[in-house]
Amino acid sequence: MSCGDPHDTECGEVLDHLYEFLDNEMAEGDCAKLRVHFEECSPCLEKYGLEQAIKALIKRSCGCDDTPVDLRTKVLARIDSIRAGQRAAQLSADESAGHGATATAAAES
Ligand SMILES: [Zn+2]
Ligand SMILES: [Zn+2]
């Protein structure tokens, strides 16, 4: 689930925090980390089909307009389906590996 390039913030971690990011519930420092990731990792956004939406949302959140509800809802629904797919992939990986050693604590909560 990564584009292969090294990032300060993992692609999976970005996905974990996308909700908070879109809800403006993140600390400014974390927000900045995600923005940096979006700048340097468009492959992962493209893969998720989120590039356009995220870029639009970032633009909005920097201006004085409210985030368009439609767009936000669409993105959140997309994140849900991505995460559901990742969980399924992780489950089958766990089955073949025996134990979920790669599962993150964040995914468990
Ligand atoms: Zn990424
Ligand atoms: Zn990347």
Given this model, what pLDDT does residue 90 score?
87
Please tell me the distance between residue 42's alpha carbon and the centre of ligand 1 in angstroms: 7
Quick check: 58 and 18 in contact, CB under 8 A? no
Ligand found nearest the CA of 15: 1
What tens digit of pLDDT does each residue of 20-34 get?
Answer: 887 888 888 988 898
Question: ∠ CA 104-58-61 to the nearest 5 degrees?
Answer: 110
- In a domain, residue 2? The reply is no
Is 34 among the domain residues? Answer: yes
For residue 54, tell me if it sits in a domain: yes
Per-residue model confidence as pLDDT tens digits over 35-93: 889 888 888 788 778 888 777 777 766 555 566 678 788 888 888 888 898 889 889 98
Distance 86 CA to ligand 1 centre (A): 14
Position 104 pLDDT exceeds 60: no
Q: Ligand 2: distance of its center to the CA of 11 in Å?
A: 6
Is the pLDDT assigned to residue 97 strictly greater than 80? Answer: no
Count up the domains in the chain and report the number: 1
Protein residues with C-beta less than 5 angstroms from the ion ligand 1: 11, 41, 44
The answer as to whether 6 is a domain residue is no
Q: Is residue 42 part of a domain?
A: yes
Q: Which domain covers residue 60, as residue numbers? A: 11-103
User: Terminal CA-to-CA distance of the chain, rounded, Å?
Assistant: 20
